[in-house]
Amino acid sequence: ERRPPQKIIEKLSMFCGVSPDAVTLLPNADTVYEVPLILERDGIANFVLSRLGLKPRKANNLVWASLLRRIKKDYQQTVKVGIVAKYLDNDDTYISVVEALKSACWDKGVKLDITWVQSENLKDQITAKKYLRTFDGIVVPGGFGVRGVEGKICAAEYAIRNKVPYLGLCLGLQVAVIAKARMLGLKQANSTEFDKKTKIPVISTLDGQANILETGGTMRLGSYPCVLREGSMARKLYNAPIIHERHRHRYEVNNAYTDQLESGGLNMVGILQDNSLVEMVEHVNHPFFIASQFHPEFQSRPFKPHPLFVGFISALKNKKK
């Protein structure tokens, strides 16, 4: 892991026209977050600054070094998270969600044990129990299309019935709403994304979108302000009355059913500012059941994990004490 001998560096640069100062060794690292420290140790930052005509300054590596110590620490407690998803043939599909979970675990001082659960395997509450009973918490991330969605609905219902901490992201909110509606007796509740003819469209498109669904412009993209209900868990986690989060979805909670959902225990705790669109839901009398229409994982950082992920991991950590 040391810098190569100067003679080797000079020979390498001789055949490629690269300055010897620009050649460095990139050994295998235990974590990608170790790479900046390796590059800094070899002086690459000062070389880049000099080429740009900028004045070098003394680097502060304390933050990175502190993060690396937390990453490599052998924590005594492990939290087991089941991610119920359907795009499981590519490790990068949910990379933002995984990194957000990791950052929250480093912040709370616990190990993370992730198990991927193919949502198509969940058919009912019997199979849900079979696949989910060993987890401290359940995450249902985003996605599109009808394949595997019934399994995600089963996962949300299982979390509600068994008071298992649940974090729903985008589609994870929509399946939670569908699950709760069905539990309240609306057995045919569904999203018009999955059943265009559903008689109880608790999730649907907005007025004016019906004839232009094939165009990307119908999606709600980018950052939007969300007003958090006073006294809600979400408000406590964010410690702010208004937040801004990033979106990437088309279908919304149908406000015709929000009163019925709230009376049944699923509160609409986050509302789009200057509008009535539902952004966040929470279940009452539950250790942690929060779902967002937006993607909080997009704003999570290794040095500043997202409040929703920190809250979720805290619930798992406290559950095991």
Token pair of 17, please? 């026209």
Residues with Cβ within 8 Å of 293's Cβ and at least 6 positions away in sequence, in order, are 170, 173, 174, 247, 249, 252, 253, 270, 277, 278, 279, 280
Per-residue pLDDT tens over the stretch 187-222 = 999 999 999 999 999 999 866 545 444 544 467 888
Per-residue pLDDT tens over the stretch 257-306 = 999 999 999 999 999 998 889 999 999 999 999 999 999 999 999 999 99
Q: β-strand 266-272 against 111-118: which pairing, if any?
A: unpaired
Q: Which residues of 38-67 are buried (b: 16+ CB within 10 A; e: fewer)?
A: beeebebeebeeeeeeeeeeeeeeeebeeb
- Confirm whether 279 is a catalytic residue: no
Question: Which single residue is written with the structure tokens 């949502």?
Answer: 119
- Confirm whether 170 is a catalytic residue: yes
Report d(CA 50, CA 242) in Å as an integer. Answer: 43
Q: Which residues are 114's β-sheet partners? A: 81
pTM of the model: 0.89
The active-site residue, picked from 34, 170, 249, 306, is 170
Per-residue pLDDT tens over the stretch 215-254 = 444 678 889 999 999 999 999 999 999 999 999 888 999 9
pLDDT number for residue 287: 97
Residues in the chain: 321
The active-site residue, picked from 247, 249, 286, 295, is 295
The active-site residue, picked from 157, 252, 279, 297, is 297
- Confirm whether 10 is a catalytic residue: no
